[in-house]
Structure 1
């Protein structure tokens, strides 16, 4: 199946407008102020989608859709979001009334989200009666996300809400997982410039393979056992990318790559993880937190991680990709990404963001995010050349390509 990227951008913008409508409905119903942080459309394996929800409690609604858009929409509040809403709407301690209030709010918000799609298509999209969902992690995910072999296009919106009586921001997530037939109709290319979904799946999987090699390099150099937990390919408005990374403080490296693909790669450790990496690489105590010795250690690790990550692309695309020496960075995530997105924004208003999360399975706290931003025209051209020259690789296991 091939898709029109411009159509995908349009639907991403519709999803963003739908999220704003849903957020406005929440504010009107509860008085809780809201702000849409980011909306993206991601191609990811169902396994990676499931991992995002593991370990957290959610409540919300699931709604089946039929008509021009078929699939399942899920609106899920995290625990603090659920409590903030029910405390306003149902002050009394009545569990059934609290469930009913979440169901009503979720139904109204999801309807606002879907209506924009129907208006754009000038077609009817039927929302079936909502089903109340509550549970831990994957209990609240769409049914289609339980097939571990499947790749999904997921429209995700993250909306931050705040209320005077809540100490921390609370959020909710809107997931729309369309059926494949719906995707084929909605994103059918109007010209010969379509992109193969199978090629995108392979590119996403080989990116995860590269991230796994980078994780293995961390382990071999530091002794810290790591694994790749999430890898996804998202189409995101350039202006939203800093918000994707957020305001957490990071330390790491940024470098530019060029060749068949041009773009940028950021390797970002949260502060405790960066310190753990440096302590394992530098067998001496230093007086500075991020002095020349510490920066040099992270640059060396970043250089090796980047090589393992980018080489996988080069092997599959049968072309050379070089990268510049790593530049040390230490700042909040959005500030690190802003100069990168400013460069990409000179030619594009949307970008493909490749996001891989490396964590440890042990008790030690460790988080590393690898964020790749290839220039979109280069990625589209590379995928087209792969389609022509290596079409036998479009539906194979990415492990066989390395």
Structure 2
């Protein structure tokens, strides 16, 4: 576990098994998301191996970038067996490239965002978040759904603050999944950030423990 996660005084760090299990489902979800995104954009989309950690809330803005950096952020609320919120954050250039690919334009053509461009970006958020949640749900045999995404363009610090308000989180740590997407024509980089409420993390870890016991693990 990283030093940042060890500094949290209200949560035991993830065990290596828990982290590996969550990374596995994140990888599966990211692969599904990349396939769906490739179909929509008409290009090959590749993914890097996701990184996953539990970090203090105060450290989250630094993980994503400079607090004053402008990004496109999409918020989705978790529902069903989990509560909390998800933030998908893209740097401006990556967001514009993603929009161009989604609507069939040559990259670097989008500069202003009409309703069409905003709708394309929200659809990308639906695809990515849906794939992650579907993978977690199937692997852990729980039900996780997401609301319609809310789109905002703001500085990183403001996006994170809005995420915490959306999640109504009552803890001081966040489950952070980071995934990077690349395509043949341009680089697409994004941050996937999940902030669970007071019980969702326990739901995840309990389900992982049950799977481990069924498989004869500890």
TM-score (norm 1): 0.46
Q: Aligned partners of 2:208 and 2:186: how far apart in 1?
A: 41
CA deviation digits over 1:65-121, x for unaligned, max 9?
A: xxxxxxxxxxxxxxxxxxxxxxxxxxxxxxxxxxxxxxxxxxxxxxxxxxxxxxxxx
Q: How does 1:217-232 map to 2 (within 5 A)?
A: 217-232=36-51
Does residue 258 of the first structure (1) align with residue 85 of the second (2)? no
**How much has 1:222 moved relative to structure 2?**
0.6
Whether the 8 Å CA contact 2:77–2:167 is kept in 1: the answer is no
Whether the 8 Å CA contact 1:229–1:356 is kept in 2: the answer is yes
Q: Secondary structure at the match of 1:366?
A: strand
Q: Aligned partners of 2:55 and 2:211: how far apart in 1?
A: 29
How many aligned residue pairs are there?
209
Q: Secondary structure at the match of 2:44?
A: coil
Does residue 202 of the first structure (1) align with residue 11 of the second (2)? no
Note closer, same or farther for the CA distance 1:339–1:393 as it changes in structure 2 (3 Å cut). Answer: farther
Whether the 8 Å CA contact 1:252–1:274 is kept in 2: the answer is no
Aligned to 1:378: 200
Larger Cα Rg: Structure 1 or Structure 2?
1
Structure showing greater relative contact order (alpha-carbon pairs closer than 8 Å, 6 or more residues apart): 2
Q: Which runs of 4+ in 1 moved over 6 A?
A: 284-288
Instruction: Select which of 51, 61, 65 maps to 1:246.
Output: 65
Note closer, same or farther for the CA distance 1:342–1:301 as it changes in structure 2 (3 Å cut). Answer: closer
Note closer, same or farther for the CA distance 1:348–1:281 as it changes in structure 2 (3 Å cut). Answer: same
Does residue 357 of the first structure (1) align with residue 184 of the second (2)? no
Does residue 297 of the first structure (1) align with residue 120 of the second (2)? yes
Q: Aligned partners of 1:253 and 1:339: how far apart in 2?
A: 10
Whether the 8 Å CA contact 2:73–2:154 is kept in 1: the answer is no
Q: Aligned partners of 1:271 and 1:227: how far apart in 2?
A: 20
Q: How does 1:3-402 map to 2 (within 5 A)?
A: 15=3, 40-41=4-5, 197-247=16-66, 248-282=69-103, 289-342=112-165, 346-360=169-183, 362=184, 364-375=186-197, 377-388=199-210, 391-393=213-215
Note closer, same or farther for the CA distance 1:225–1:250 as it changes in structure 2 (3 Å cut). Answer: farther
Note closer, same or farther for the CA distance 1:386–1:235 as it changes in structure 2 (3 Å cut). Answer: closer
Q: Cα RMSD over matched residues?
A: 3.1
CA deviation digits over 1:300-336, x for unaligned, max 9?
A: 2221222211101111121211110011122223321
Whether the 8 Å CA contact 1:257–1:322 is kept in 2: the answer is yes
**How much has 1:252 moved relative to structure 2?**
4.3
What runs of 5+ residues in structure 1 fail to find an aligned partner? 1-7, 16-39, 42-154, 156-192, 396-402
Q: Aligned partners of 2:26 and 2:64: how far apart in 1?
A: 19
What runs of 5+ residues in structure 2 fail to find an aligned partner? 7-11
Whether the 8 Å CA contact 2:84–2:166 is kept in 1: the answer is no
Q: Aligned partners of 1:359 and 1:309: how far apart in 2?
A: 17
TM-score (norm 2): 0.80
